[in-house]
Amino acid sequence: RIKRTAISAEPAQHKKSKDLRVVLQAFDKSDRTKEFLCDAILNNDFMKNLEMDQIMSIVDCMYPLEHKDGSLIIKEGDVGNLVYIMEEGTVEVSKNSKVLTTMGPGRVFGELAILYNCTRTASIKALSNCKLWAVDRQTFQAIMMRAGMQKQTEHLELLKNIKTFESLREDILSKVSDAVDQVSYADGECIVRQGAKGDSFYIVAKGRVQITQAKSKWDTPVYVRHLERGDSFGEAALQSEETRPFNVIADDPNGVTCLVLDRQSYREMIADELSRLKRDESVRYARKATTFISGEDERDL
């Protein structure tokens, strides 16, 4: 029987292993090259929003690679294993045999199949000898995953130190740390506006925010207080479906970062759990009182 194997323009992916077990291998490169690769990533629409430490890890793990004039670097429809950055040369991008564009130094390509787990969306052919840098899928995904887990651990540490959450079990806080979005605000940016409907609950993770409040629509808001890392706000409007009772404005020259939880997650993970704990506490208290009145030993309960 003939064994059919897919023909790919790229080297095959190594044996699958758990992404976290991938040993990240750094390749030596000059500071100038690192800066060049970093700028290329920051100029790519699909990668520019990665965290800076993720970008630096990708840059560290990129290795040099050359393709001869006329060679097919990426074949449309392939599974795809590498993300490339062009250092020298020109490539042609085509889809369904139609040329879309040409690209030169400083351009990232091959990112879509790796970022979105799809097959190659276009073919890329070298129009000259090309000097490239590449990183493989496993390394790329391991960097993404590690950064995600580090973030989750950081979030969990912050949540554990919040007074309102001190009665919540760690597994619940762990779920919350998975569900929050990390959002950044520039100095002076309004995070919550008085009178607006509220859909989110916020925890300050970095920087300071200022609370202001106006007596009426026509009054100028006046300063109430500052909140810092570990403080939270926004729960009132989520619980009672009322509008926001105050303004919250980012007040930090280095910007503010908040962990943001949507209304439904807040209700399911936090509000319901806190009311259940409160209910249990009242039942325990009532039992204790009954025991005390009847003279039973409370240890029998």
The binding site for ligand CMP (CB under 6 A) comprises 74, 80, 93, 100-101, 109-113, 120-122, 124
Least distance to ligand CMP from the beta carbon of 122, Å?
4
* For ligand CMP, the closer CB: 78 or 154: 78
In this complex, which beta carbon is closest to ligand CMP, that of residue 124 or of residue 205? 124
Residue with Cβ nearer ligand CMP (76 or 235):
76
Minimum separation from the CB atom of position 62 to ligand CMP (A): 15
Give the residue with the Cβ less far from ligand CMP, 122 or 270. 122
Smallest gap from residue 5 Cβ to ligand CMP (A): 20
CB of 223 to ligand CMP, least distance (A): 50
55/43 Cα distance (integer angstroms)? 12
Residues 272, 173: Cα–Cα separation, whole Å: 13
Helix axes 137-160 and 170-179, enclosed angle (nearest 10): 130
Q: Which is nearer to ligand CMP, 109 or 266 (CB)?
A: 109
Least spacing, CB of residue 75 vs ligand CMP, in Å = 9
> Minimum distance from CB of 138 to ligand CMP (Å)?
15
Q: In Å, how far are 282, 288, 289, 292, 300 from 297, measured between CA atoms? A: 19, 10, 11, 8, 6
Bridge partners for 198 per DSSP: none
**Long-range contacts of the stretch 92-100 (C-beta < 8 A, 24+):** 92/124, 92/125, 92/127, 93/122, 93/123, 93/124, 94/122, 94/123, 94/125, 95/121, 95/122, 95/123
Q: Tell me the CA distances in angstroms from 218 to 213, 215, 224, 244, one per residue in order.
A: 12, 8, 18, 16
Q: Which is nearer to ligand CMP, 138 or 257 (CB)?
A: 138
Neighbouring residues of 162: CB distance < 8 A, sequence distance ≥ 6: 203, 230, 232
